[in-house]
Structure 1
């Protein structure tokens, strides 16, 4: 497994860990523009998840292109 694939995996797993760890955000304070923490934290993760998924997709494309051309991907040798 190359380092680039590890980063891809972390990008895709991070939102799941953040949302499954309910105890970290099951509270009302601090509020943001009148919205309890519980709600704005989840909505923030929608944006973060989108960005992380986009990063993972771009890294995957880069990795696949590198494998097709036979060049090692940045950050690791070809398998």
Structure 2
């Protein structure tokens, strides 16, 4: 009877959730900090740094989002498994 329903529990900060937040926050910080990549050199196969740096973040963001999603699914499974035990 003393168990609190999952909807009423306060949010729990776990290491997995911190990693999820960092995975989702990293691309935003990297792209919004324009001063860090607003330059021409080093060029990569003739493409200025400004452009290839941004294009590099497309697959990196996809991998980070996929990682965050997998961690979230694992976190949710462990929370549901722990609540029923």
TM-score under structure 1 length normalisation: 0.87
Alignment of 1:13-52 (within 5 A): 13-52=25-64
> Displaced runs of 4+ in structure 1, greater than 2 A?
none
Relative contact order, CA 8 A, sep 6+: which one is greater? Answer: 1
TM-score under structure 2 length normalisation: 0.81
- The one of 1, 5, 9 equivalent to 2:21 is 9
- The one of 51, 69, 75 equivalent to 2:81 is 69
1:13-62 superposed Cα distances (whole Å, 9 cap, x missing partner): 00000000000000010100010000000000111100000000000000
Size of the aligned set, in residue pairs, is: 71
The structure that has the greater radius of gyration is: 2
Q: Which runs of 5+ in 2 are unaligned?
A: 1-12
Residue aligned with 1:42, SS: helix
